[in-house]
Amino acid sequence: MTTYRELLAHVKAEIDEISTPDTHALLAAPQPPLLLDVREQEEWQEGHLPGAVHVPRGNLESRVETLVPDRGREIVVYCAGGARSAFAAKSLAELGYERVRSMAGGFADWKRNGFTYVTPQALTPAQRARYSRHILIPEVGEEGQQKLLAARVLLIGAGGLGSPASLYLAAAGVGTLGVVDADVVDDSNLQRQIVHSTDTLGEPKVLSAKRTIEALNPDVEVVPYQERLTSENVERILADGWDVIVDGADNFPTRYLVNDASVWHDIPVVHGSIYRFEGQVTVFHPHAGPCYRCLYPAPPPPELAPSCAEGGVLGVLPGIVGSLQASEALKLILGAGETLTGRLLLFDALHTTFDEVTVKRDPTCPVCGETPSISEYIDYVEFCAGAPSGAPGAQRPVHA
């Protein structure tokens, strides 16, 4: 009969081991190895190596192929003392991983050597249950969920685009949502503005949205700004500190104001606009891509927006565009995937088509260019709030 010690010794004879000092040195290399932590959740919360990927030993074989599809990747596995990681390294070798080593001494020896480790803020059991589907995603995980809970997103508008965007951001656990809107809930809003209801008719939209969002997820704090964004208040509102702006504005003046402020404050903007059956989504990331003025240097002439009457919008369209905006905001927070920076996504609901247009940064842009000519906020008063442009061509989708 083989004892555990004998089995462990046998396994260690079949795998490669690496000391904690050598692991520490490898992490400073140009191409460091992937660190795989196979301890239990409670151990992970007590501290782990910086940049490590967490997969409990019991889930390793079922999840590793998704987490590490490249079987040629250099991997260092560690646990508390080096035993579980040895068995894990043997299993990975049997699965075809070619460059796997177990860190001898484990996390305990790492700490004894005085090397840096991370102690994450733990999710509560209730949060772990609520966000369990996020935690299972390698690009999110518990660390990513913590980023979402700590994030602050400012929504310009609580209308057609702000409604779905706010609900999905709240459901995802974005900890703080600022909502800027001066309007009250009207009957005509309910065909598309799903954050509001018949019970909140006549109520300020920011308060209606706050009630719905916080009922959906008590982890989320809503900061209401019952006012229209202007050059007079934009600095005060941005002073509250925001990681991402989701622009669901329904008028040109606000779009330009948001753009200029975002460039000067270095805050990425997820832009969306809709009109009848058409929608547009992109990301304006200061200094990483173009801004709104690179695409449209100045507002169109007033005669191209002659009416303040709504041009109409298919009720489901803002749900699609607003959800795409929420998706882009989440990626910006998580630092995952490829955003729409430099790409304008066009959606036609009538024919169910998506098209994409490349948008390049304009070196002569009056705000983000090499020699900017605009350095102060401009209120384009020639446009009334909420004026949709029915004119053909660029900029048409504006209604929310």
pLDDT tens profile 200-258: 999 999 999 999 999 999 999 999 999 999 999 999 999 999 999 999 998 889 999 99
Name the pTM for this structure: 0.73
Low-confidence ranges of the chain (pLDDT < 50): 306-309, 383-394
* pLDDT score, position 197: 97
Same fold yes or no, 4-120 and 151-358? no
What's residue 45's pLDDT?
Answer: 83
Model pLDDT, residue 67: 85
Kindly indicate whether the domain formed by 151-358 is annotated with CATH number 3.40.50.720.
Answer: yes
Write out pLDDT tens, residues 28-44. 999 999 999 999 988 98
Q: For the chain, give every domain's residue range.
A: 4-120, 151-358
- For residue 143, what pLDDT is reported? 86
Q: Are strands 244-247 and 343-348 parallel, antiparallel or unpaired?
A: unpaired
Record: fold of 4-120: Oxidized Rhodanese; domain 1 (3.40.250)
Instruction: Give the pLDDT score at 395.
Output: 55
Say what the pLDDT of residue 121 is.
75
Please tell me the predicted confidence (pLDDT) of residue 303.
Answer: 55
